[in-house]
Structure 1
Amino acid sequence: MATSRYDPAASTRPGPAGAVLPRGRTARFGRLWIGVLGVLALALGTLQSVVEPAIPLLQRELGVSPAEGALVGNAVLVAGAVVAPVAGKLGDRYGGKRVLVGLMAVVAAGGLLAGLAPNLPVLLLGQVMQGVMVGALPLSFILVRKHLPAGESQAAIGLVVALFTGGGMVGTSIAGPVAEELSWHWMFALPTIVIIATTLAVTRLMPHDPPIKSDDRIDWPGVALLSGTLLVFMIGLVRVTSAGLSPLAAGVIAVVVAALATGWVVVERRAASPMVDLRMLAKPAVWHSCVLTFVITISSGMVIFLLPQLFAVSADGYGFGVSTTDIGLYLLPGAIVGAASDSAGGFAARRYGPRAVVIVSAVVTTATMIALASAHTAEWQLVLAKVLTAFAAGVGTTALLAGTATAVEAGDTGIATSLLVVTRVIGVAVGAQVGGAILDAAADPATGLPTESAFVTGFAVAGLVGALSLLVVRITKKGAQA
């Protein structure tokens, strides 16, 4: 009988989930594919964030209104809100690596389409395709957990999140120089090229993960109905606030949105494996947090949209005439503080409780917006407002996320937190669209540009929405006590 020779390179060790992984392969490729995942996250964060400082430029280049400009950034958010709840299920069913590569192919196609877009409809289609990038992070976490021990996986997840956040800062910084030195098309093309290269590296270096057999079906009807509801709602919001839309047409849009939303609720209640578990949404700990998150992020979304617009208004009037490059630099401190607020929100929630953090967040946002409505004649005032509101929104929503994660059963954590993530995305999108609608409604008839009073109204409304969260906290507290 033949004897086998011991080969250290071929020896194995148990994997994190009981799988047996080759020791040599893990040692050789482990750091490489983790690094590639990190670079991919960096490129995705960059692609997602280049739009914010460049929206005024895109409006001028494409000849569109502020409300239509807001839709450019919101297209990514709406698509992401739909993809986020199903990305993990798709990864389990078909394999995380396979689904990640497929999503990145869609993102790459969307980035190239946006980079070549001749008009607004094509750009919006590219943005919608890019929106599936939201599913990349949960899939990355799944893959890291499958292929690394617990201690190493925590460090790897932290690296991926940090680089995605860093990508947001990179995108905010480079959008202006790239758009002004090359063209706005390259804002999308350059990160997309990096995404294509790193996706090819992921395909080659990352270990394959076997799919998990499941009898649960993907809730495609629920995905389609939620997508339709969000899309019609966003487009309707633009059209309702635009000139020339009749009351009958506005009523038709409202009826269509209501019908789609009702159909989605009916489908989710009957689905064996629903996209969103409505029973989970009915739990007080979850729906209270969803309502508060929605209100907070509406105010945040308005600030995110309004500040770049005010920076870009001509200095001959009440604005500053700031270039796209300088807009990115002015927004960068807020982006940095917003990233830091995520960790601060979790710490504050553990020490003081989510409700206390939300109250402080609402007070800071309301006071800042009221002050900005009165005083907005210097760049530093806008920069400070961005920093304060970014920190307030970050700690508030993260505190709610952390509080909900610990308030529900361990097995429901993923569902509950995904609902809050989706709510957060939709709230920011609605806020930005409302901000654009306010600027459109109060535009100067002679020039078509927003008046100073439009910005004052926008900041005041953002402050009132922030204050509304105080009322929601009080109502939900009484309901919980009852």
Structure 2
Amino acid sequence: MTTTVRPTTPRTGLWTVVGFLVGVEVASGILQGYYTPIFSDIARHLSIRDADVNWFEAAQLVVSALVVPLLARLGDLIGHRNVLLVSTAVTALASWAVAFSPGFTTFLVAWALQGFYVVWLPLEVSIIHRRTAGTGRQTVLTRRAAAFLVAALELGVIVGALTSGALVDGGAASMTTVLMVPAVAVTLCFVVVWFGVAATAPAGHGTVDWRGFGLVTLALALVMGGLILVRLQGPGSLAAWVLVLLGLLALVPFARFELRVAEPLIDVRLLATPGQWPVQLTAFLFGMSVLGAQIPLSTFARTDPAVVGYGLGASAGFVSTLIGVYVVALVAGALLLPVVARGLGTRGAMVAACVLVAVGYGLFLPFHGSTLEALVNMAVAGVGSGGLVAALPAAAAAAAPADRTGFVTGMTNTTKTIGGAIASSVFAIALATTGSLDPDSAAGHAPLGGYLTVWAVCAGTALLAAAALLVVPRQAFAERT
């Protein structure tokens, strides 16, 4: 006797669920935007040097890169909503620990564990993708919902950045109180998911590939550790490059093992299909600009042209305005994605977004001497970036089997994070040499050539991503029957 397992019937409509998930992405945006304006204040709060703040970024990137494949696979096995709840709970506890951490070490550990939030958007896309099965418009509805989620994310970034800046500038609240705001937001996010998002039946079967997880953890830890050493000790560090080489070599036994097991943690065969590898490669290349270029853009804007002959000489407040323009452009790009996709198709829309990113950063090469030029460049790159943020997980889900959507959407975040980490190290090397001829007045400023390198790499990787997407079969993202 054969028993047919049917998905559980959602207790609420699709767009009601999307509304609750929008609240989750607002909280995610607050996490991503809240701390950036106050890193120096956090350093003083912990009695550490500003340079030590880099450890927070490195630790969280490592955790994010490791947990996303595992949590995405668990989402396919035990339900995407259940894993969303678990990751939200861990992030909430870590956020409260960040607020009350007494020193550098506990703050570092808590900050790293906050990296669990990066799996939220892939899980949400998987939830929506599952709920739209059988509608005949699964790809369209998923892409449209993803655009709203990304718009909510970027709105949260703006709200977070403005709120933290206002609280710190006001001076009335202690740093512990200031750091409690994201913890409150994430805790409310857990309540929203618990009561607002109905569970659906797991899409996959099997077990978690713990051996594969151990091997990929080893490979990523070695590569990321080597890149961190490059960032801290410079490109002349032999130990750093040995670690990077060992990490890359560790991928060989990992790939061989994954090809042999029935239920791999990272499905190498699936990632190698024509509909997947260009999307994942695009996510990797896109991460180099969307994650790696943030700090160089900020430091360039703050550089005083009267001292070194370049830069915008912007105040911290005006840098927030620049960030706001970029985020608004991201929102516009995410919301325009469904419209452009109707005319150009999903693949065409993603190629167009990559080209916009390339044009935006490419414009920085000749035009970087005024605030207006920087605003225009960032707006162009922002529209393309917003389209890619919304399109990548939806495209990966559309080109994957129904029981592997959580895995492939999670992998877009993993590859993007790894790309950002690599770019962050490369850009740190490019900007390491002082550009000052006067050690008393301009010590510590990066050379203009370093910034030109950053923008050229961002533009070049975006064009490579566009080329990769051109080889995707035209019907890879079409509606499945």
TM-score > 0.5, shorter chain as reference: yes
- The 5 A counterparts of 1:130-279 are 130-137=114-121, 139=123, 162-181=151-170, 182=173, 188-199=179-190, 205=195, 216-243=206-233, 247-279=237-269
Of residues 421, 443, 449 in structure 1, which corresponds to 2:445? 449
1:294 paired residue number: 284
- 353, 361, 372: which is aligned to 1:369? 361
Structure 1 vs Structure 2: percent identity of aligned residues?
Answer: 22
Q: Structure 1 residues 104, 274: CA separation in 2 closer, same or farther (over 3 Å shift)?
A: same
Note the aligned Cα RMSD (angstroms).
4.4
> 1: CA distance between counterparts of 2:224 and 2:102?
22
Displacement after TM superposition at 1:398 (Å)? 4.8
1:451 to partner: Cα distance? 3.2
Are positions 1:103 and 2:93 aligned together? Answer: no
Q: Deviations over 1:425-466 (max 9, x none)?
A: 332333333323322245659423323333233223333333
In 2, Cα distance between the equivalents of 1:258 and 1:85? Answer: 18
Distance in 1 (alpha carbons) for counterparts of 2:353 and 2:129? 34
Give the 3-state SS of the residue equivalent to 1:429 in structure 2. Answer: helix
| 1:307 and 2:297 are equivalent in the alignment | yes
1:344 aligns with 2:333: no
1:296-330 superposed Cα distances (whole Å, 9 cap, x missing partner): 33233343232112223346524445444432222
Structure 1 residue 55, shift from structure 2 partner: 5.5
CA contact (8 A) 1:52 1:304 kept: no
Paired residues, number = 452
Report the CA distance between 1:265 and its aligned residue: 2.0
Moved more, 206-215 or 125-134: 206-215
Give secondary structure in 2 for the equivalent of 1:383.
helix
Residue 434 of structure 1 is matched in structure 2 by: 426
Render the CA deviation track for 1:232-281: whole Å, top value 9, x for unaligned. 32332232244467553134212331243234323422333222211111
Whole-Å separation in 2 of the counterparts to 1:304 and 1:105: 28
Partner of 2:479: none
Quick check: 1:238–1:437 contact (8 Å CA) kept in 2?
no
**Alignment pair present for 1:63 and 2:44:** no
TM normalised by structure 1 equals 0.75
1:34–1:476 CA distance, 2 compared to 1 (3 A): closer
CA drift of 1:404 comes to 5.0
Alpha-carbon separation, structure 2, partners of 1:211 and 1:358: 31
- Greater helix share, structure number: 1
Report Cα offsets for 1:162-185 as digits up to 9, x if no partner.
544421231233342234335766
Shift of 1:338: 0.9
Report the Cα distance in structure 1 between the residues aligned to 2:10 and 2:73, rounded to whole angstroms: 24
- SS in structure 2 of the partner of residue 285 of structure 1: coil
Residue by residue over 1:91-141, the C-alpha shift from the partner in whole angstroms, topping out at 9 and shown as x without a partner, is: 565566654443233212322333345666554433321111133345556
Q: SS of the residue aligned with 1:276?
A: coil
| 1:440 counterpart SS class | coil
Contact kept? 2:98, 2:179, Cα under 8 Å: yes
| SS class of match (2:432) | helix
CA 1:344–1:423 in 2, change beyond 3 Å: closer, same or farther? farther
C-alpha distance in 2, partners of 1:291/1:255?
A: 20
AA paired with 1:168? V
Aligned-partner SS, 1:338? helix
1:443–1:450 contact (8 Å) kept in structure 2? yes
Is the contact between residue 59 and residue 69 of structure 1 (CA under 8 Å) also seen in structure 2? Answer: yes
Q: Which moved more, 1:125-134 or 1:52-61?
A: 52-61
Partners of 2:122 and 2:410 within 8 A in 1: no
- Structure 1 equivalent of residue 3 of structure 2: none
Offset at 1:145?
8.9
Output the amino acid matched with 2:424: A
- Distance in 2 between residues matched to 1:143 and 1:401, nearest whole Å: 12
Distance 1:112 1:224, change over 3 A: farther
Would you say the 8 A contact 1:178–1:186 is kept in 2?
A: no
Is the contact made by 2:64 and 2:116 (CA closer than 8 Å) also made in structure 1? yes
Residues 327 and 220 of structure 1, relative CA distance in 2, 3 Å threshold: farther
Q: Deviations over 1:19-68 (max 9, x none)?
A: 697xxxx89xx98x987765444223201222445567767884344xx6
Change (3 A) 1:313 1:69: farther
Normalising by structure 2, report the TM-score: 0.75
Decide which structure has the larger Cα Rg and report it.
1
Amino acid at match of 2:186: I
- Over 3 Å counting, the alpha-carbon distance change for 1:363 and 1:380 in structure 2 is same
Is the CA contact (8 Å cut-off) linking 2:305 and 2:313 kept in structure 1?
yes
